[in-house]
Amino acid sequence: MGVLRGWIGGMAKPAILTVDDDPAVSRAVARDLRRQYGEEYRVVRADSGREALELLRELKLRGEQVAVLLADYRMPEMNGLQFLEAAMDLFPRARRVLLTAYADTDAAIQAINIVDLDHYLLKPWHPPEEKLYPVIDAMLEAWLAAPDRPSADVKIIGHRWSAPSFRVRDFLARNMISYRWFTTDDAEGQRLLAAAGVSADDVPLVITTEGKALINPSEAELATQVGLTTTPATDFYDLVVVGGGPAGLGAAVYGASEGLRTVLLEERATGGQAGQSSRIENYLGFPDGVSGAQLTDRARRQAVKFGAELLTACRVTRLETHGNTRVLQFEDGTSIAAHAVILATGVSYRRLTAPGLAELHGRGVYYGSASTEAPSCADQDVYIVGGANSAGQAAMFFSRYASRVHLLIRGASLQSSMSQYLIDQIEAVESIQVHACTEVAAAFGDEHLERLELRPVDGGPGRVVDASWLFIFIGAEPRTDWLGGAVLRDPRGFVLTGPDLLSGDGPPPGWRLGRDPYHLESSIPGVFAAGDVRADSVKRVASAVGEGAMAVSLVHRYLLESQ
């Protein structure tokens, strides 16, 4: 680890980090910052982007906070834009400032899209009272208004190959809760178990930032204890959004920003499948791509900024209609009501039924990217099932860690199911091998996945390969079983809306309004569907966000006619 310059008496003050490859400039900016902010903040400086990232990782592991990042644009090996983009994955809420010369102002303007830049400063910044401090004051004020969550680490102790331990780690990671992971074989893990009075048989053990020990907690209990909101502030809203993927987040942002009292209900973590994507490169406005986690975090903060409530670990089990009121029942027996509802529950990956896979789920077999496991895949072979964009993005992501990535597809090529830009990227990576017309026939292992049987889809002879990692990205099953017969769905379970509800006899059965259903409206007036859960929707992030916004405009129209 690098040396943390600026450590004051061992106190974990929020950090202001500055990085410049010119030692004289680095010392000067750190001096000016300490003079103004040294009592409340710890100023940390680095001489290169690589060193700065090392410092940020150290701060992250220690559970500390970073308020502002200042990076010089012209640095060798890693320039300021590249550093700030990488730093976003570690401290997404830190405010970002680029130090640049007048000749590089075009680069600073481009950075607004690439790294969501908050400000750029021209060098020299003297006098600091006029050119530096007002900018930093504004950055700190914005950071304090929406600071990082309490960053003292949550600690998890469990078995390396344990499905319950993976479930806990995955839940925290997807909700962007910082944690430290110890196995029961680690000396520190054993010390924590002893301190909590828990044996190695009673794991996973979660120790909260307040020191509370939770033994194999449910997601609802875990969410409550780590500071996520799980209960609504009231029992009636203008709009309830069910599902926190791109469509749900889009609806929450537009609903709240347009004055509707809005609450979003999410069963696991906001972002949905898109939130697990390591890189989304075809989303408008991000020419260099953006990770699903970054996009989700920005959307979540945006929704909260406009006043939307975001609830986690809320499992909805029933939708009921009482006059003009729409009621959603929760698993715990409580309920919430609203004038209108937007269904944005998305889809889940289809489960493979090959022998052995179900037993090894969470122990080498995973559905989705499971990015928490990526470092453990270092120098090993990784197998990925799927030929769509999500599988391609995962292949690119795991190729940074694995010695070889095997992409298993049932078709003859990727052309029919994957975007061309991803196909081109995969072809350029020597460590990614595409196995066409191939499927998983069986999985084997005791504690964890050890071998896979692969076979041609035409039924030819199979072969067994050594494998510890299998990630599955196939199919799209709508998460709509909980709806029962409340709304009309197609044979696959997707919600029917708008014109799809009309037949030769007119509106759907039970429709009592003197108009046809709006484009995104379900068979219940005032209940809309957006994103992947809707029948015949376009399965892309941008279209899901657009449908979320469109659904809100239709909610307004519905509310006006209901008055």
SS3 438: strand
Domain boundary among 472, 506, 530: 472
Domain boundary among 183, 217, 251: 217
Domain boundary among 442, 472, 502: 472
The residue among 117, 127, 110, 174 whose CA lies nearest residue 28 is 127
448 and 427 fall within a common domain: yes
Greatest C-alpha distance within the chain: 79
Confirm whether 115 is domain-assigned.
yes
329 CB neighbour count, 10 Å cutoff = 16
The residue among 6, 72, 63, 71 whose CA lies nearest residue 40 is 6
Query: What pLDDT does residue 273 have?
Result: 80
342 and 491 fall within a common domain: yes
CB 547 within 8 A of CB 342: no
Task: Give pLDDT < 70 ranges for the chain.
Answer: 1-11, 60-63, 102-115, 146-152, 504
* Domain of 207, in residue numbers: 154-217
Confirm whether 222 is domain-assigned.
no
CB 42 within 8 A of CB 7: yes
The number of folded domains in the chain is 4
Confirm whether 224 is domain-assigned.
no
* Residue appearing with tokens 């690119």: 396
Amino acid identity, residue 166? F
Q: What is the number of alpha carbons within 13 Å of residue 405 lying toward its C-beta? A: 28
542 and 458 fall within a common domain: no
Query: What pLDDT does residue 287 have?
Result: 80
Confirm whether 357 is domain-assigned.
no
340 and 291 fall within a common domain: yes
170 CB neighbour count, 10 Å cutoff = 20
344 and 420 fall within a common domain: no
200 and 344 fall within a common domain: no
Query: What pLDDT does residue 104 have?
Result: 58
Read off the pLDDT of residues 474-522 as tens digits, 9 standing for 90 and up: 978 899 999 999 999 999 999 999 999 987 677 888 898 989 999 999 9
Q: Output the CA angle 123-125-129, nearest 5 degrees.
A: 170
Do the strands 432-435 and 404-408 form a parallel or antiparallel pair, or are they unpaired? parallel
Alpha helices, DSSP H only, in 281-402? 292-305, 389-398
57 and 137 fall within a common domain: yes
The residues pairing with 309 across neighbouring beta strands, listed in sequence order, are 263
The residue among 15, 117, 115, 119 whose CA lies nearest residue 67 is 15
Confirm whether 223 is domain-assigned.
no
Sheet holding 95-100, edge to edge: 42-46, 15-19, 66-72, 95-100, 119-122
Query: What pLDDT does residue 147 have?
Result: 53
CATH number for position 67: 3.40.50.2300
40 and 24 fall within a common domain: yes
Amino acid identity, residue 216? N
Cα first-last separation, the chain: 63
SS3 250: helix
Q: How far is CA 323 from CA 151, 340, 341, in A?
A: 46, 12, 14
171 and 134 fall within a common domain: no
DSSP character at residue 382: E
280 and 389 fall within a common domain: no
Confirm whether 225 is domain-assigned.
no
* Residue appearing with tokens 């309004």: 513
224 CB neighbour count, 10 Å cutoff = 17
Q: What is the pTM of this model?
A: 0.75
Query: What pLDDT does residue 11 have?
Result: 43
23 and 141 fall within a common domain: yes
CB 129 within 8 A of CB 119: no
Long-range contacts formed by 438-442: CB under 8 A, 24+ apart = 438/408, 438/409, 438/410, 439/354, 439/385, 439/408, 439/410, 440/352, 440/354, 440/357, 440/383, 440/385, 440/408, 440/470, 441/354, 442/354, 442/355, 442/356
Confirm whether 293 is domain-assigned.
yes
DSSP character at residue 53: H
Q: How far is CA 398 from CA 374, 405, 422, in A?
A: 6, 7, 14
420 and 437 fall within a common domain: yes
Nearest-angstrom CA–CA distance, 268 and 272: 9
CATH number for position 451: 3.50.50.60
CB 453 within 8 A of CB 466: no
SS3 222: helix
Query: What pLDDT does residue 3 have?
Result: 33
